[in-house]
Amino acid sequence: MSSNFLSPEEYDERAHQLYNEGDYDGALEVLREGLGLYPAAVELHIGVGYARLAREEYAWARRAFEEALVLDGEHEDALAGLGETLLRFGQPEVALATFKKTLELGFHDDLDLMLQVGRALFREGMADEAREFFEIAVQQAPDNAEAVALVGYTQHRVGEDEAAIATLRRALQLDADHAEARIYLANLLYDRGEYEAALYHLDRTVPDDHWDELGIWRLMELKQSIYRLKESDKELEPWQDRLAELAGEPDDIGEMLAEIEQRFADELEREQRGQLELFGALLGELADSQAAAEHAHEVATRDGKAFTGSWEEIVRQLRDANAAFTGRSLHEFMQTEARRHHSLTGVKISSTDYESFIRGSANAGLLRIVK
């Protein structure tokens, strides 16, 4: 290859291009070739570290960053990369000390570095620590909408919702096209019950702006309830298509299990119908006594509304209280809500039967079972 005549900087530039294209294998190949010629090139070791990180090869990434720091113990990119790797190894204190060394060395004015470190900490749930780096970035670039928005995300994460809303609005004033900040703000407003304000912001996004399902579910729900759109309305089609894209196509196993579940449900329904015809009087008596016990259930939602009855009746009341589900079956309601709340809370809610759905919703903190 004629690339033997490349300089270390040219190897690094070529590897960066491949990395940015998502070709991590190609980037590593270029970097290895460069290190074969220039083993003391710090930037090439750092490049290997980030390519390994992208491939989730954390032990190799750590080794590459440590080799870079042997050559240059004060290289900011090597320190940031090592810190990210240490987080993956479950060493947050050591990682934070490594990140803070970049501040001690005077790299406060490196905007990209501050945002990189802050994001790494934020991904690991270290919101307070991330906020420090994001705020430093804002001090250096007060008109940078991305840095301002990131401060807003950390404010929300630590429970400062009023401040988060104000910060995100400021970010949108700086850049009205910042879709991520707009979606985040809309979700905050929705959680506060400010539905028209939430729809105002969601309505200013396009389907491709969304990378999780929550904002789309909420936009569709609000359009149906506020604008009285039907689920089949053409205005909702692009959003439904985007939901399908994000959900992905069901695999063969999933389709098979769904078919088996449906067959079982159909067979059970036929069996129950036959039993009712044969033992109508006896089942009627048993149903009456069972209903008396089931009607003792009561749940309360987070907004203070109470629902009583059997598990099925409570699910029916919950569905009927939400205009977006008018005309939809209880099964559709449970599946849709379980999916939406999983996006919000990360807690999986069963939708196989009424009681499991209610108890799963309670476990997710969405309602409280009184009795």
Residue among 48, 42, 53, 83 nearest 64 (CA): 48
What does DSSP say about strands 298-301 and 367-369: parallel, antiparallel, or unpaired? antiparallel
pLDDT digits (tens, 9 = 90+) for 184-199: 999 999 999 999 999 9
Which pLDDT score is estimated for 1? 42
Report yes or no on 19 lying in a domain: yes
Which pLDDT score is estimated for 364? 73
Report yes or no on 100 lying in a domain: yes
Give the span between the Cα atoms of 323 and 319, in whole angstroms: 8
> Last residue of some domain: 107, 127, 156?
107
The pTM score is: 0.68
Terminal-residue alpha carbon distance, the chain: 75
> Last residue of some domain: 107, 131, 151?
107
SS (H, E, C) 119-170: HHHHHCCCHHHHHHHHHHHHHHCCCCHHHHHHHHHHHHHCCCHHHHHHHHHH
Residue among 69, 68, 27 nearest 51 (CA): 27
Which pLDDT score is estimated for 293? 47
Please, what is the Cα angle at 261 between 259 and 266, to 5 degrees?
95
353: left (phi over 0), alpha (psi -120 to 50) or beta: beta
Report yes or no on 176 lying in a domain: no
Report yes or no on 339 lying in a domain: yes
Which pLDDT score is estimated for 231? 85
Report yes or no on 75 lying in a domain: yes
CB count within 10 Å of CB 259 equals 10
Give the span between the Cα atoms of 46 and 19, in whole angstroms: 13
pLDDT digits (tens, 9 = 90+) for 134-173: 999 999 999 999 999 999 999 999 999 999 999 999 999 9
Give the span between the Cα atoms of 226 and 241, in whole angstroms: 21
Give the span between the Cα atoms of 34 and 80, in whole angstroms: 22
Report yes or no on 6 lying in a domain: yes
Give the span between the Cα atoms of 40 and 275, in whole angstroms: 81
Which pLDDT score is estimated for 324? 65
Domain containing 350 equals: 294-369
Indicate if the pLDDT at residue 101 is higher than 90. Answer: yes
Report yes or no on 342 lying in a domain: yes
Indicate if the pLDDT at residue 9 is higher than 60. Answer: yes
Percent of the chain at pLDDT > 70 equals 82
How many structural domains does the chain have?
Answer: 2
Q: How confident is the model at residue 4 (pLDDT cuts 50, 70, 90)?
A: low
pLDDT digits (tens, 9 = 90+) for 236-246: 999 999 988 98
Question: Residues 159-167: contacts with CB within 8 Å, 24+ apart?
Answer: 161/188, 161/192, 164/188, 165/189
pLDDT digits (tens, 9 = 90+) for 59-72: 999 999 999 999 99
Which pLDDT score is estimated for 273? 56
> Last residue of some domain: 85, 107, 129?
107
CB count within 10 Å of CB 348 equals 13
Q: How confident is the model at residue 358 (pLDDT cuts 50, 70, 90)?
A: confident
Among 4-18, 36-50, 71-85, 180-194, the range scoring the smallest mean pLDDT is: 4-18
CATH assignment of the domain containing 88: 1.25.40.10
Report yes or no on 276 lying in a domain: no
